[in-house]
């Protein structure tokens, strides 16, 4: 059996090696390292894949979030709502821009924003909501979009973990995550579902004026070279990374289906075990299984150690909810404020999940988890 990885980038690379090597070599030959043709091609291929009007490449998913907030007309002290059960980047950019992060708890089943609690968190200072499509499933966007529209609030979808996920509205129509909000943001970090060989990110919008604004911000606030209209940033997707992403995008749906097969097998093997809860599937969202995350009744950390001893990596996403992080200790939150996130941080454990898992690896993982909870 091949060694088990959380994400097996090496096996994926070997499967696509010929295409990827030649795509990288082409960039080397062209020396168009910055804003080369592959960047534009990738942007239009992402538009097509996501049915999005505009895609703008940038340097990473955290930049994408920051640039999204810079592109909206926000002012210091404006409140931006997100959940405390996410990666730090989501809240970090809010604080960096001197905006105020406000948290709404998540649902224990989907791990996504509890929309019922959203309305009560909105004040006259609320200017933006950042729903995070966690682990590969969409937040319940229809009510979030209705609330945002009512209150004239922007939505920035943090789609770092859910590229390719589909959300279905009550009328039966559906949209890809990242294309429903005012702006959507993507990360192409190596462990993400659509990933490059370094850092990369993108923003999506359906609004031409916002697109123009974002293009200007990512390029030093400049439309015309050496004429700077606003204070911007330098955030670019490298041509080499775009060339790699163009290859991987062709295989994304196939990779997602491999992830789903692995998830279905995990479900099957754990469903009889009363000490383990398998991930819930939202009725109005597909799942792209960025993570396969169990909730366990007890001894989560001991399980992690036991799996490690059998050569099985696992991760805790996330061990400390954001409102209890040291970085946010002066934000006025305390233990007990977001009980669901706090409980989840003690119950969750993510198992190896990627497009290259073999049956013998899956069996070894399932046997080992079930043996720990007999």
Ligand X SMILES: *Cc1c(COP(=O)(O)O)cnc(C)c1O
How far apart, in Å, are the Cα atoms of 274 and each of 108, 111, 373?
17, 20, 9
- How far apart CA 46 and CA 52 sit, in angstroms, is 8
Give the interface segment with ligand X, choosing from 9-17, 82-90, 173-181, 243-251 (CB under 6 A). Answer: 82-90
Position 70 contacts ligand X (CB under 6 A): no
Report yes or no: 202 and 195 within 8 Å, Cβ to Cβ: no
CB of 132 to ligand X, least distance (A): 5
189 sits near ligand X (criterion: CB under 6 A) = yes
Confirm or reject binding of residue 158 to ligand X (CB under 6 A): yes
Residue 287 CA to residue 281 CA, distance in Å, equals 7
Instruction: Report the nearest approach of ligand X to the CB of residue 359 (Å).
Output: 28
Among 12, 52, 55, 62, binds ligand X (CB under 6 A): 62
Phi, psi of 341 (to 5 degrees): -60, -40
Distance in angstroms (rounded) separating the CA atoms of residues 20 and 285: 31
Using CB under 6 A, pick the residue from 12, 52, 55, 60 that binds ligand X: 60
Q: How many residues bind ligand X (CB under 6 A)?
A: 15
Q: Which is nearer to ligand X, 132 or 315 (CB)?
A: 132
Q: In what order do the strands lie in the sheet with 79-82?
A: 54-58, 201-205, 183-187, 154-158, 126-129, 79-82, 100-103
Let me know how many helices (H) and strands (E) the chain has, helices first.
12, 14
Burial class (CB in 10 A: 0-12, 13-18, 19+), 316: middle
Length of the chain, in residues = 374
Binding mask 232-251 for ligand X (x = CB under 6 A): --------------------
Nearest residue (CB) to ligand X, 303 versus 349 = 349
Query: How many CB atoms neighbour CB 66 within 10 A?
Result: 22
What is the rounded distance in angstroms from the CA atom of residue 62 to the CA atom of residue 158? 10
Asked if residue 89 binds ligand X (CB under 6 A), the reply is yes
- Least Å distance between CB 206 and ligand X? 21
Q: Which is nearer to ligand X, 20 or 160 (CB)?
A: 160
What is the C-alpha to C-alpha distance for residues 343 and 303, in angstroms, rounded to an integer? 17
Nearest approach, Cβ of residue 65 and ligand X (Å) = 6
Tokens representing residue 191 in the block: 């462990």
Pick the closer one to ligand X by CB: 85 or 372. 85
Helix (H) or strand (E) holding 91: helix 89-96
Give φ, ψ of 223 to 5 degrees.
Answer: -100, -35
Nearer to ligand X, 161 or 239 (CB): 161
Instruction: Report the site for ligand X in 94-153 (rule: CB under 6 A).
Output: 132
Tokens 């505009």 locate to: 54
Closest distance of CB 45 from ligand X, Å: 19
Binding to ligand X by residue 68, rule CB under 6 A?
Answer: no
Closest distance to ligand X from the beta carbon of 234 (Å): 15
Choose which of 72, 74, 85, 87 interacts with ligand X (CB under 6 A): 87
Q: Which stretch binds ligand X (CB under 6 A): 57-65, 174-182, 297-305, 325-333?
A: 57-65
Q: Under the criterion CB under 6 A, does residue 201 sit at the interface with ligand X?
A: yes
Which residues would be at the binding site for ligand X (CB under 6 A)?
Answer: 60-62, 86-87, 89-90, 132, 158, 160-161, 187, 189, 199, 201
């Amino acid at each position: 059996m091949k060694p088990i990885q959380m994400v097996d980038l090496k096996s994926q690379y070997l499967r696509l090696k010929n295409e990827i090597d030649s795509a990288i070599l082409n960039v080397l030959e062209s020396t168009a390292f910055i804003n080369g043709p592959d960047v534009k091609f990738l942007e239009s291929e992402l538009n097509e894949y996501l049915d999005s009007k505009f895609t703008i490449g940038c340097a990473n998913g955290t930049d994408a979030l920051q640039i999204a907030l810079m592109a909206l007309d926000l002012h210091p002290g404006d409140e931006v709502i997100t959940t405390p059960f996410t990666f730090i980047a989501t809240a970090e950019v809010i604080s960096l821009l001197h905006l105020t992060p406000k948290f709404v708890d998540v649902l224990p089943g989907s791990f996504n924003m509890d929309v019922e609690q959203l309305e009560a968190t909105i004040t006259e200072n609320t200017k933006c909501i950042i729903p995070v499509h966690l682990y590969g499933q969409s937040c319940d966007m229809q009510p979030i979009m209705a609330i945002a529209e009512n209150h004239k609030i922007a939505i920035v979808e943090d789609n770092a973990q859910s590229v390719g996920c589909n959300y279905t509205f009550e009328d039966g129509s559906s949209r890809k995550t990242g294309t429903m909000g005012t702006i959507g943001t993507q990360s192409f970090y190596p462990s993400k579902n659509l990933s490059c060989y370094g850092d990369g990110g993108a923003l999506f919008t359906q609004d031409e004026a916002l697109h123009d604004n974002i293009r200007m911000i990512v390029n030093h606030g400049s439309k015309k070279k050496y004429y700077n209209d606003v204070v911007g940033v330098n955030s670019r997707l490298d041509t080499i990374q775009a060339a790699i992403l163009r290859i991987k995008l062709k295989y994304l749906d196939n990779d997602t289906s491999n992830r789903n097969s692995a998830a279905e097998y995990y479900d099957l093997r754990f469903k009889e075990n009363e000490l383990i809860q398998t991930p819930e599937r939202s009725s109005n969202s597909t799942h792209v299984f960025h993570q396969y995350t169990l909730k366990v009744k007890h001894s989560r950390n001991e399980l992690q150690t036991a799996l490690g001893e059998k050569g099985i990596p696992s991760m805790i996403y996330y061990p400390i909810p954001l409102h209890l992080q040291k970085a946010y200790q002066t934000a006025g939150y305390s233990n007990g404020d977001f009980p669901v996130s706090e409980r989840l941080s003690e119950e969750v454990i993510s198992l190896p999940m990627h497009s290259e898992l073999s049956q013998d690896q899956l069996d070894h993982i399932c046997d080992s988890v079930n043996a720990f909870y007999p």
